[in-house]
């Protein structure tokens, strides 16, 4: 199929747009985890829970002979719950401290390299979305119909202490979350993060479309 046929298939304007999009950004950068603030906050709350649990336990033991059996059980139950919550909070704080400064993603013109050293071409994905919640920001990538779902390790709770990419149940999607993403020292919210990544995905999709329409067009628009 000659170059003129490409124009017939998608039109001159569409081809020009694809060529412009195929240039895409060429900068390579890392998305870094920033979780120290949340680790400190979690530790403070955990220590308060431990202090409250310890106080209730001490109170219950000192006045046990003056309490009814039911009230004593309530006090000990509350004390135990607070102590367990405090210990769990300290464990979470330590996990978040270990995450701080970790590389979440390396973004380049053609690939995404996850912290697990799993590298995937941008054209593996047909879309992505950024989701921000109270304590975390997530990136969800949808695997394209023509691509293969990558084999991912089952990390479980290990994802608390390090940014691991994980499969999303029920579909061809993968997910990675972070407390606060930073790029070149700048903190990004979910919208800024989505806007930063979009030209990379758009460029990869445009290059793939052009190469599928006509292999020689790979040399058009700066494709390499």
The predicted-structure confidence for 42-68, as pLDDT tens digits, reads as follows: 999 999 999 999 999 988 888 767 767
Residues 23, 45 within the same domain:
no
pLDDT value of position 157: 73
**Rounded mean pLDDT, 160-173:** 85
Q: Is the pLDDT of residue 201 over 90?
A: yes
Q: Is the pLDDT of residue 1 over 80?
A: no
Report the domain count for the chain: 2
Range of the domain at 59: 36-99
pLDDT value of position 135: 85
Residues 88, 43 within the same domain:
yes
Q: Which tokens go with 172?
A: 């061809």
Q: Which tokens go with 202?
A: 């758009």
pLDDT value of position 7: 40
CB-neighbour burial class of residue 151 (10 A; exposed 0-12, middle 13-18, buried 19+): exposed
Cα gap 218→46, rounded to integer Å: 56
Three-state DSSP state, 2:
coil
Residues 140, 163 within the same domain:
yes
pLDDT value of position 67: 65
Cα gap 222→18, rounded to integer Å: 11
Residue 149 is given by DSSP the state P
pLDDT value of position 86: 97
Residues 46, 120 within the same domain:
no
Q: What is the per-residue pLDDT across 92-107, written as a single tens digit (0 to 9) for each?
A: 999 999 999 999 999 9
Residues 162, 95 within the same domain:
no
């Amino acid at each position: 199929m000659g170059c003129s046929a490409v124009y017939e298939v998608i039109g001159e304007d569409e081809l020009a747009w694809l060529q412009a999009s195929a240039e895409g950004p060429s900068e390579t950068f890392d998305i870094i985890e920033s979780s120290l603030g949340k680790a400190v906050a979690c530790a403070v709350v955990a220590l308060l829970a431990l202090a409250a649990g310890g106080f209730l336990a001490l109170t219950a033991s000192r006045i046990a002979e003056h309490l009814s059996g039911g009230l004593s059980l309530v006090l000990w139950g509350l004390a135990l719950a607070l102590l367990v919550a405090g210990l769990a909070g300290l464990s979470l704080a330590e996990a978040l401290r270990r995450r701080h400064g970790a590389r979440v993603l390396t973004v380049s013109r053609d690939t995404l390299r996850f912290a697990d050293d799993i590298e995937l071409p941008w054209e593996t994905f047909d879309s992505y979305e950024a989701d921000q919640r109270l304590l975390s920001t997530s990136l969800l990538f949808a695997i394209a119909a023509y691509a293969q779902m990558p084999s991912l390790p089952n990390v479980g709770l290990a994802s608390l202490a390090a940014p691991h990419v994980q499969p999303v149940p029920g579909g061809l999607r993968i997910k990675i979350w972070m407390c606060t993403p930073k790029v070149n020292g700048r903190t990004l919210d979910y919208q800024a993060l989505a806007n930063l990544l979009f030209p990379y995905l758009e460029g990869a999709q445009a290059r793939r479309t052009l190469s599928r329409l006509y292999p020689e067009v790979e040399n058009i628009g700066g494709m390499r």
